[in-house]
Amino acid sequence: MSKDLRVGIAGLGTVGGGTVRLLLENADLLAARCGRPVTLAAVAERSNNRVPGLPMDGIAWHGDAMALLDEDLDVTVELIGGAEGVSRDLVAESLRRGRHVVTANKALIAHHGAELARLAEAHGVVLAFEAAVAGGIPIVKAIREGMAGNNYSRVYGILNGTCNYILTAMRETGREFAEVLREAQDLGYAEADPGFDVDGIDTAHKLAILASVAFGCEIDFPAVHVEGIRRVSALDIGFADELGYRIKLLGVASRTEGGIEQRVHPCMVARDTPIAAVEGVFNAVVAHGDFVDTTMHVGRGAGERPTASAVVADIADIARGPRPPTFGIPSRDLARLPTRPMAEHVGAYYARLSVVDRPGVFADIAAALGAHEVSMESVLQRGRAPNEPVPLVMTLHETREASVVAALDAIGRQDSVVEPPYMIRMESF
């Protein structure tokens, strides 16, 4: 296995903590996928909060983020935040020194992305920011690489989980914005100073980045039209529902004949469209390309672990260098894992029978289920036709498939059951 990739993290807040956790907890997995170990060599955090429950010994600790520049590192991971100051200085100077940079800093990229990208190219290193847009959803990679052949006409989405949570809760409870915002703050879904989220600025940062990646244009954050959700009232949400719509705060970037349109504002979207079903703290990004047509990518848009997932994906890209292995790890390391037989599968079941409609039939069926320790949740019989076959369906509680199969076999052999029972598994994801 080749030399390890040495990583230094600036900022041990929520995302920083999650990134440390991932690098340490999944170290073996990462080494296997990258073909080399990823070593967390140094961290910088002004406050002294250690990441709870993690052994940080052997990891250099600095109070000043700029001190990471003097460490022997391959990658600077900037998780401090803010468009200016130490975050900007650290990223720029790391690139100038020929060091790769991974950041989750949407404000920094939205304001200085193009200039930092030029720096990265000039020094032949990577500047990566998957975590800056839609948290755990790998949408930057999807647009830039996964659908690289497409001419994109539009990219839009729900890019702020706080706003989506508030709008969802307003609809579900009928309460007003201010009240739901307070609740969201108590639950930690909204900041004490919520303006950055509810006034749409955070969404605008992310949209400006997406537009640049999709349309191949320089980020133009000042050109984004921004409206937040403070003026959305319970009345609006009620009327929207009557009209068959949901209200979402969307960021929409379109390529039009008149130029690029970038807008962030509350939108009414038809209740039966996929994006309307994206509720609570989830984010969704829809990309429309001339060949792929419409794709939607849904996931958690924030939080310690999902955002860390995106940060580490960028680190893994750097560690892997040229290309990842065909199946994610070198084929010689592909495991031969045992198969769990379907008989061992545990789940709920739906079963349809065709039975002769006469007394006692159901008792026999119930007896067969009981004999195999299968318990019924519900039973439905449609229509009555004395001594004629009628459909009878049952739903069965969670149980081992072997028991269900045996019970249905026994039932299928009963005189009053006129065709082999048909079973459909019920999934609860």
Which residues between 43 and 102 bind its own copies (CB under 8 A)? Answer: none
DSSP string, 60-125: EEESSGGGGGGS--SEEEE-S--SSTHHHHHHHHHHHTT-EEEE--HHHHHHHHHHHHHHHHHTT-
Q: Verify binding: residue 385, its own copies, rule CB under 8 A.
A: no
Binder of its own copies out of 1, 187, 243, 385 (CB under 8 A): 243
Q: Are 206 and 136 in contact (CB under 8 A)?
A: no
Residue with Cβ nearer its own copies (46 or 279): 279
Q: Verify binding: residue 26, its own copies, rule CB under 8 A.
A: yes
* SS3 state at 128: strand
Q: Verify binding: residue 245, its own copies, rule CB under 8 A.
A: yes
State the Cα–Cα distance between residues 362 and 42, nearest whole angstrom.
69
Q: Which 396-415 residues touch its own copies, going by CB under 8 A?
A: none
Site pattern 308..337 for its own copies (x: CB under 8 A): xxx-xx-xxx---xxxxxxxxxxxxxxxxx
Question: In the 8-state DSSP scheme, what is residue 53?
Answer: T
- Rounded to a whole number of angstroms, the minimum distance from the CB of residue 289 to its own copies is 7
- Rounded to a whole number of angstroms, the minimum distance from the CB of residue 422 to its own copies is 5
Q: What is the biggest distance separating any 2 CA atoms in the chain, rounded to whole angstroms?
A: 88
Residue with Cβ nearer its own copies (85 or 321): 321
Point out which span in 55-63, 161-169, 366-374, 375-383 binds its own copies (CB under 8 A): 375-383
Q: Which of 135, 125, 181 is nearest to 158 (CA)?
A: 135
Determine whether 106 is an active site residue. Answer: no
Q: Verify binding: residue 18, its own copies, rule CB under 8 A.
A: yes
Q: Are 181 and 231 in contact (CB under 8 A)?
A: no
Site pattern 266..295 for its own copies (x: CB under 8 A): xxxxx-xxxx-xx-------x--xxxxxxx
Binder of its own copies out of 213, 302, 411, 417 (CB under 8 A): 213
Binding residues with its own copies: total (CB under 8 A): 139
Residues forming beta bridges with residue 128, ordered by sequence position: 102
Please list, residue by residue across 92-113, b when 16 or more beta carbons sit within 10 angstroms of its beta carbon and e when fewer do. bbbbeeebbbbbbbbbbbbbbb
Residue with Cβ nearer its own copies (338 or 360): 338
Positions marked active-site: 206
